[in-house]
Amino acid sequence: MQGNGNTRLRITVLFGGRSSEHEVSIMSATNVVGALDPAKYDVLPVFITREGRWLLSEFSDGSLATPEDGTELVLPAGGRGRALGLLPDGDVAELPRIDILFPVLHGVYGEDGTVQGFAATVGVPLVGCGVPGSATAMDKDIAKRLIAEAGLPTARSMTVHPHMVPDFAEVERTLGLPVFVKPACGGSSVGVSKVMSEENFAAAVEEGFRHGGKLLAEEFVEGREIEFAVLEMPDGALVVSRPGEIAPSGVHGFYSYDAKYVDQDGAALMVPAELPDGVEAMMRETAAKTFRALGCDGMARIDFFLRPDGRFVVNEVNTIPGFTDISMYSKAMAVSGIGYAEILDRLVEHGLARDSAANRTNSSLGKES
């Protein structure tokens, strides 16, 4: 252990956050905290408010507290796990040292490399994907460019900036109809619209810019939604799960926010998905290549569209996928032989191993200089 004076690892779970996926994060973190083995881990939940304050929370009766005020967590730069509590009256208290941060944050200011960079700055090990993969996967525009550069298949798209919105006629001519308009840096289908007409397009662009400063207009791909969970072991080996399939109900039309998190009947999750001979192996290989092409490590979920003729395209990559009890990542890993608690253990081991390797590298560089 890292020096807390007990045999358990002190793990700080970050949840909430400043993004539009704030509520989803709370749901995911509730599952994570509930599944962390108390015999192994001393869990400190920290609620990040919509304004960005890091407030000490607690887990009780299966729920995480989401305080509006209280003691704020402060991690000094270079402190290597030193933790301070800023009390409401302004006093500062020394808290037990933190061994590792576990961000269960979806979207910007959490899944985009910002928290990952902060962890590196304060010198605390981190669970999950590091800075490069988090940043590139979060920006769907950049991710698609890297995926294409690696020679991997991805859907056609157009980038939309606030002062460079293409004419609807150009979008229709380039991508056909329908098209999907989505924030380039977003997740959980927040701000995503299916566009069938010029009137729909204007409304979709307006809605998209409510959730981000850059959008993608993306072609509609007729096919099945197939997802793979990727988990990196401490030694760098990748485990790519069996495939899972999402079949949104006709009510929602596509895998929207409501279908994912609100409506229990919003979509059917079929795990493992039944795929044509040879297709699963090709998609699993492509999932691993996509993971590496974006510079990911730790974990990610790779999403595909599988066309009726057996061809497929990479849709997107989520480096902190949903961890609720109806989420695909844990279900796909479960049918691949890795249960929920084991996923968390492996992620913690990976984060500690990565930190140790980085420290060895920095030590060697220091000696050379």
Alpha helices by DSSP H, the chain: 22-35, 114-122, 131-138, 140-149, 168-175, 198-209, 257, 279-293, 328-334, 340-368
DSSP states along 90-152: S-EEEEPPP-EEEE---STTTSSSHHHHHHHHHT--BSS--HHHHHHHHSHHHHHHHHHHTT-
Q: How far apart are the first and last CA of the chain?
A: 30
Give the CATH number of domain 9-126.
Answer: 3.40.50.20
Query: Is residue 33's pLDDT more than 80?
Result: yes
pLDDT at res. 326 = 77
In the chain, residues under CATH classification 3.30.470.20 are: 136-154+223-345
Q: Convert the pLDDT of each residue in 112-142 to its tens digit.
A: 999 999 999 999 999 999 999 999 999 999 9
331: CB partners within 8 A, 6+ apart = 244, 269, 271
In the chain, residues under CATH classification 3.40.50.20 are: 9-126
Rounded distance between C-alpha atoms, residue 218 and residue 241, angstroms: 27
pLDDT at res. 252 = 45
Superfamily of structural domain 136-154+223-345: ATP-grasp fold, B domain (3.30.470.20)
Mean pLDDT calculated for residue range 88-102: 97
Q: Convert the pLDDT of each residue in 275-301 to its tens digit.
A: 988 999 999 999 999 999 999 999 999
pLDDT-derived band at 260, boundaries 50, 70, 90: low
Query: Is residue 188's pLDDT more than 90?
Result: no
* Number of Cβ atoms within 10 Å of the Cβ of 244: 24
CA 62 vs. chain centroid, Å, equals: 23
pTM of the model as a whole: 0.91
Tell me the CATH architecture of domain 157-219: 2-Layer Sandwich (3.30)
Mean pLDDT calculated for residue range 143-159: 98
> Where is pLDDT greater, at 256 or 306?
306
pLDDT at res. 30 = 97
Rounded distance between C-alpha atoms, residue 54 and residue 147, angstroms: 35
The answer to whether the peptide bond before residue 272 is cis (omega within 30 degrees of 0) is yes
